Amino acid sequence: MSEQNELNLNAAASAAVQAAPETEAEKTVAVADAQETIAQAVAEPVAGFIDTNEPSDADNPDPEDIVDVPVARKKALGIIVRYGANLFLPLACTFGGYVVLHGDSSPGGGFQGGVLIAAAVLLVFLGYGSQKLSTTFKESFLHSSETVAEIMYIAIGLIGVIVGLDFAVNMVIDVFEIETAVLMNNAVGYHVMAGVGCLLIMMLGMLSSTEGVAEHEPEDEEEEADEE
């Protein structure tokens, strides 16, 4: 409290003592004057802490400048998943191709390698969504080429029957200097890759359409409530 305020309080106290009112009315007036003086003395230092200025732009920010934390976090996670998909996509295809090509002479084979390559469909969906998936992979082409792989496997297997051996027997084709097991293994790999890829595209497409319907249902209900 400042010296001026102390002087005001002392003056009020002295005046009250010197007046020494005798009647009840004089006492009431003296008490009221003393209370008013004390209130003024206390209000002066307190007023310095009260901000009487008008609110600034920082107190009322523009709604467009407000950052939606959940949306920002979702975008950040989307970027991380996208970069992760870009990183693992070539690795999955390379390793799957390696397993298919060496399946006849090492652990693995066409089925295991085909599933690994088909994982590229899932990586594209996780990183870029259903729209990018539908433009990158054509379900009709995969389904048609899957049939071609089946015909290729049967045709190579019949070579053994034609030369008087068993069906799908492993033999060396002198013209191409390659074993039939390698060709049949590659056909199985492509057949599994195309088949599993088609299944993933269909399932992920159904999942995306279901999520889209679920998102639009609350909006439709709100619109109907507004119309009523």
Is pTM, for the whole model, over 0.75? no
Task: Say what the pLDDT of residue 226 is.
Answer: 57
Tell me how far the alpha carbon of residue 60 is from its chain's centroid. Answer: 30
Name the token pair of 179: 């074993």
Contacts of 94 (CB under 8 A, 6+ apart): none
Query: Which SS3 state, helix, strand or coil, does residue 179 take?
Result: strand
Compute CA distances 184 → 58, 156, 173, 178, whole Å. 71, 7, 13, 11
Task: Say what the pLDDT of residue 46 is.
Answer: 45
Name the token pair of 125: 């969906």
Task: Say what the pLDDT of residue 25 is.
Answer: 64
Per domain, the residue ranges of the chain are: 3-47, 67-217
d(CA 168, CA 158): 6
- For residue 93, the one-letter residue type is C
Q: What is the C-alpha R_g of the chain?
A: 42
Task: Say what the pLDDT of residue 195 is.
Answer: 92
Residue 172 CB neighbour total at 10 angstroms? 12
Average pLDDT per consecutive 10 residues, the chain (228 residues; last block may be shorter) = 55 53 62 64 49 50 54 70 89 91 80 91 88 85 89 91 87 83 90 92 84 52 54
